[in-house]
Amino acid sequence: MRILFIGDVVGRSGRAIVLERLPGLISKWKLDLAVVNGENAAGGFGITEVIYNELIDAGADAITLGNHAWDQREALVFIERAPKLIRPVNFPKGTPGRGAALIDTKNGKRALVINVMGRVFMDPLDDPFSAVERELAACALKSGADAILIDMHCEATSEKQSMAYFVDGRASLLVGTHTHVPTADHRVLPGGTAFQSDVGMTGDFDSVIGMVKDQPLERFLRKLPTSKFEAATGPGTLCGLAVETDDKTGLAKRVAPVRLGAHLEEARPAFWE
C-alpha cells in the first residue's frame, strides 16, 4: 500500500498547496491512502466544515486533529457528521467525535487511522499508551486492518519515540505532528513500523511555526501581550511522509520525507518518482 501523510496544514497557505498538489500526487504516485493533519487549517486554529470538505474533495481519505481541535466551535457539532475527521483518542469520555476510524482506501482495502495526543508539556489527558493499546487490540494489523496509521500529536520527541517503539511491529507507521518543524529521523524501526518524530507543517515557512513573525517576536522580546496570532500568508511548503507497506504483513518496507514548495529544500520519495 502506498501511503502519504501530510503534516499540520496551517492557514490559507497550507490549504492552498494541499488543494493544488494533492490530486496530482495521488495520480502520479498512485497513492492508496492520503491522510492530512488539519488542526491548524482554519487561520492556524482548528478546522471548519467547509475546510474539511475541501480537503476531502482534494483527495484526503482522513483528517486528523490535535490540541486545537475545538478552536472553531462548529467542529464540536459537525464532527458527528464527518466520519473521516478524527480527534485525539485520549480525549475524555463523552467528547464528540471519534479517536480512530476504519477508512476504505483507494485500492479497496481498509486502514485504521488513530489520532492520539501526548501529555508531556501538553494538556493532562488520559494515558496515550493505554488508549492506543485499546485500539490496536480491537483492530489488529492484518486481522482487522490492512494498514494502521497513528498520528501522535505531541510536544516531546522522547514521548513520540517511546510510542513508536511501543507500537513497533503492530502499526504500519507512527508519525509525529505538532511542532511544525520536519525532523531528519525518518526510518523503518526494527519491527517494521515507519517513523518520523515530526513530519513538519504544511504552510508558509517564512514565519514562526506558521504564524506572522512580528507577533511571537513581541512576546519573546518584550513580554508584551499581542493580538491573537495570525497565520502567515506567503507561499506554502507541503511537508509529509511517504510510506510503502508490504501487502502480506501491513508493515513498512520503505519510507521517505516529502517537502514540496517554497523555502525548504525539496524532497521526494525516489522509489515512486
Q: What is the DSSP string of 178-214?
A: SS-S--S--EE-TTS-EEES----BB-SSSBTTB-TH
- Residue 75 scores a pLDDT above 90: yes
pLDDT at residue number 223: 81
pLDDT at residue number 6: 98
Mean pLDDT (the chain, rounded): 96
CATH homologous superfamily of 2-261 equals: Metallo-dependent phosphatases (3.60.21.10)
- Residue 172 scores a pLDDT above 90: yes
What's the pLDDT tens digit per position in 128-160? 999 999 999 999 999 999 999 999 999 999 999
pLDDT at residue number 62: 98
Cα(194)–Cα(118) distance, rounded to whole angstroms?
Answer: 19
Instruction: State percent of the chain over pLDDT 90.
Output: 92
Rg (CA), the chain: 17
Cβ 243 vs Cβ 252: under 8 Å: yes
Q: Per-residue pLDDT averaged across 83-106, rounded?
A: 97
Sign of the dihedral defined by the CA atoms of residues 181, 183, 188, 191, in that order: negative
pLDDT at residue number 7: 97
What's the pLDDT tens digit per position in 238-254? 999 999 999 999 999 99
Q: Per-residue pLDDT averaged across 82-97, rounded?
A: 97
pLDDT at residue number 219: 87
Active site residue ranges: 68
Three cell numbers, residue 261: 514548495
Which residues make beta-bridge pairs with 188?
A: 194
- Residue 217 scores a pLDDT above 80: yes
Amino acid at 231: A
pLDDT at residue number 218: 86
Instruction: Give residue 204's pLDDT band: very low, low, confident or very high (50, 70, 90).
Output: very high
pTM, 2 dp: 0.96
Instruction: Give residue 198's pLDDT band: very low, low, confident or very high (50, 70, 90).
Output: very high
- Residue 113 scores a pLDDT above 80: yes
Among 205, 196, 147, 204, smallest CA distance to 176 is for 196
- Residue 227 scores a pLDDT above 90: no
Helices (H), 48-145: 49-57, 75-78, 128-138
Domain boundaries, given as residue ranges, for the chain: 2-261
More confident residue, 89 or 123: 89
Q: Per-residue pLDDT averaged across 70-84, rounded?
A: 97
